Amino acid sequence: MLDLRPSLGVLAFICVMTQYSLTFLNGAVADEDSNKIYQFEETIVTAERMEHSLLESTAAVSVRTGAEMEYFPLKNLADALETLPGIAFLNRDGLGRDPLATLRGFYGGGEAEYLLVMIDGKSINELEKGLMNWNAIPLSSIESIEFLRGGASSLYGDSAIGGIVKVATSGKQKPLSQISVTGGNFGSIGAQARSSGIWNGREYVVFGSGERNTGFRKHSYRAAENFGGTFTLLKTPNSSLSVSTTHHFQQFDEPGPLIGNELDISRSQSTPFYKFDHTADRTHRAAIAGNHNLHDRVNFSGSVSGEIREADAVRTLQLSPEFADTKNRLLTASRLTSSLQLTFDQLGLPFDNRLSLGIDGGLHSLSSEYYQFLLGGMADYRSMDSVTRGNLDEQGDSTRHSAAGFLQYELLPIQRLRVILGVRTDVVRDQFTPKSPSEGERQSTTHSELSPKAGANFRYLNAERHIGNLYANVSRSFKTPTLDQLYDQRSIIFQIPPNPPFKVLLSSSDLKPQFGTSIEVGSYHRAILSPNLLYGEFSLAAYTMDMKDELDFDLQQLKYVNIGRSRHQGVETGLRLTIKSNLNVFLNYTHQSAKSRIGEYTGKFLKAIPRDVIYGGINAAHKSGVGGSITVKSTNRIFLDDANTMRLPNYTIVNSRLKYQFGLVSATFDVFNIFNQSYSTTGYADASGSGQFYFYPAAGRHMLLSLNLQR
């Protein structure tokens, strides 16, 4: 049964703070121009690969602008996404710098990702696992975020099974330059800079950032630097061409999880097994993109992007509470991707219609080497102050070649009805070549997947003070196994006397793609509840998705497997009230129910996925320059094992931001976990059968102070 106490606490807190904020804003509201009329604003989105109004979407889409983010207590892109319905993040470092996404009942546990993230139209998910570096893009460089939830394989193919995020770093903003510096506890320091404008008659955007923190826990130091930019080579009424580049450098220690008795001793400690875990990587990306109006009703757009990434990682696998295996991996990943799209407007029919068709392609390569580092019990790790990398253990090269063609047809047979019909076919060929001392033959596999979609959006209400749209869609989505899930050569040596030692690989080359069919219905509604005073908007999405061959890591077998069948169902709602454009009150509720439908755990919930997440708060701005926000997040009902015998304790945390603008300078003061709650964000069961559970503890109260200069 759902424990409503945290939820009621969230609602009560928001109500109290709303009343206080109304009193605070009364002076500003009274002086506003009484003749000002609050009108509906048209939000244009492109997540469905065609420009259209947000209210006319045939799927669940949410938008967050850079201007809105100025009043939220945020550390990175993941924090910004969490202000929207339908997604929750669990973090492993305690400070939110290593977040893991869970959405629509999908959770990769740090070994895979079900969310496709695109910066200016190019995917930035890591090649080997599909994971995201959520700190790779400075918040100050973001113009807008579009978040489309649910399977989008008919548009974007592989990995877009839980949703897609489209981040824009440039837009129609006026020339602007800004620089900010940040400091806080846990050794947090950082700086960000951004400039946009015109140079030699051409638009440009450049940005950069750097940050350091010693971490909430022992052995959790993190550092990162990012810089990049976009430069417009050509811009005419009919054509545009731009180049962009981004560069990311990061290094971090991993403190690892703690078992129950370790948590009781100290939540900030790190188990000795992880004392050597450290990752250093660098990523370089470059792209060229453009579009051209071939005719009044024909548009051509395309892009080519390249990436190279190098990583040096020491990582531990804790096999039991008293035994672990640590290895050093050297990795080089590169890829070249391209996308071409033609859009035809008005194909001679008596009603509005558009046809979009195109091709996507990619060449990906991954070279990996594993070196022996340390293997042993707790005493072995405690006794070591430093370790020299050992002999080469395993190595090999893998490649992925992908090609896809897609088609989407949009028609408006009547003024209030928008219908989308789409289909995409993907062909993915993977290959692995072992190198000495790794054994075995060259392996290869080819998968082809067809992803159709049909959706409709109907405007059921179009009045002076109310606009309402209903939508529905049915689609098929898929996700191929990652290159690491298929071919990762990390091995573990076991010996069970009197038998000789034997080797176990974590990867499984016979994995099949997982795929599912989803049905989704939803609504968008906007209303002027009181002219010149109160404006509201509401969104609702309900879905069901039947998955086959879902990918998971089996702790008993210590390898990736297809777990058979599962059913993902849920509801996502978002409510926002705007008072005089000075005050926003918002409340999001996300319910995820993902259950196994086959085998020993039929009817059980999939592990580590929060079933209920409530995120709400208020933000306000006063004409004196004072503003800020208070947010509340409540996370409930997370099972940590397949048998559903252990639940993570529910937790509710409150964060705040206070902002003061004085001339060209502004200051923000963020407080996270105001009430100093002790909680863990996620965990898992020990694979050795000891009955122990591992937890990732989160930090208590912590603060950040930022100063920003803008002109």
Instruction: Assign 8 to helix, strand or coil.
Output: helix
Q: Indicate whether 24 pLDDT > 60.
A: no
Q: Residues 531, 37: contact at Cβ < 8 Å?
A: yes
Judged against a pLDDT cut of 90, whether residue 169 lies above it is answered with no
Q: Per-residue confidence at 711, pLDDT binned at 50, 70, 90?
A: confident
pTM: 0.91
Q: Has residue 280 got a pLDDT over 90?
A: yes
pLDDT digits (tens, 9 = 90+) for 303-353: 999 999 999 999 999 989 999 999 999 999 999 999 999 999 988 788 899
Can you tell me the mean pLDDT for 567-591?
94
* pLDDT greater than 60 at residue 450: yes
CA triple 616-618-622, angle to 5 deg: 170
Distance CA 608, CA 641 (A): 8
Is residue 351 within 8 Å of residue 412, measured between CB atoms? Answer: yes
pLDDT at residue number 67: 86
Question: Any long-range contacts for 372-375 (C-beta under 8 Å, 24+ apart)?
Answer: 372/327, 372/328, 373/276, 373/314, 373/326, 373/327, 373/328, 374/276, 374/325, 374/326, 375/324, 375/325, 375/326, 375/493
pLDDT at 159 over 50: yes
Answer whether residue 30 shows pLDDT above 80: no
Query: What pLDDT does 125 receive?
Result: 92
Residue 281 — φ and ψ, nearest 5°?
-145, 160
Task: For domain 5-710, give the fold.
Answer: Maltoporin; Chain A (2.40.170)
DSSP class of 154: H
Whole-angstrom distance, CA of residue 87 vs CA of residue 65: 17
Are the C-beta atoms of 86 and 62 separated by less than 8 Å?
yes
Domain ranges of the chain: 5-710
